[in-house]
């Protein structure tokens, strides 16, 4: 879970790749760098992430069977909400309990 700002969007094959500036990592099981690519396995614009917008993102690390692909994937059941101070407060409170 991290707060990020969408810098760019690009369609790559049947997927969408977002370039994201990682602002605040709240809870992560793998290291995040200041800029990451977040992949969405569709091109329909779901979830609707707009360039320049800040979001609270819950994504997962995806490593394929051959271990040749390692990326951050925002799946259909993932969490992507516009960031607000309230969202930040709720995540910090939840992090204390998890």
Per-residue pLDDT of 25-35, as tens digits, reads: 877 677 888 99
Average pLDDT in the chain:
86
Count of CB atoms situated within 10 Å of the CB of 27: 12
CA distance 38 to 72: 5
In sequence order, what DSSP letters do the residues of 53-68 get, joined into one string? Answer: -EEEEE-EEEE-TTS-
For 20, phi then psi, to 5°, come to -125, 135
Do the beta carbons of residue 52 and residue 5 sit within 8 Å?
A: yes
Going from N- to C-terminal start, the domains of the chain cover 2-96
Instruction: Kindly report the length of the chain.
Output: 98
Region 38-47: mean pLDDT is: 87
Count of CB atoms situated within 10 Å of the CB of 40: 22
Region 60-88: mean pLDDT is: 82
CA distance 21 to 3: 9
Which token pair is 79?
């969490």
The domain defined by 2-96 folds into OB fold (Dihydrolipoamide Acetyltransferase, E2P) (2.40.50)
Higher pLDDT, 51 or 68: 51
Higher pLDDT, 34 or 68: 34
């Amino acid at each position: 879970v991290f707060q990020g700002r969408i810098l760019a969007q690009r369609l790559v094959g049947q997927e969408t790749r977002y370039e994201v500036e990682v602002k605040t990592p709240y809870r992560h099981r793998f290291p995040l760098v200041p800029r990451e690519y977040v992949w969405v396995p569709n091109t329909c614009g779901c979830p609707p992430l707009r360039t320049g917008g800040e979001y609270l993102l819950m994504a997962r690390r995806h490593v394929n069977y051959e271990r040749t692909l390692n990326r951050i994937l925002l799946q259909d059941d993932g969490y992507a909400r516009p960031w607000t101070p309230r969202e930040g407060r709720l995540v910090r409170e939840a992090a204390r309990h998890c």
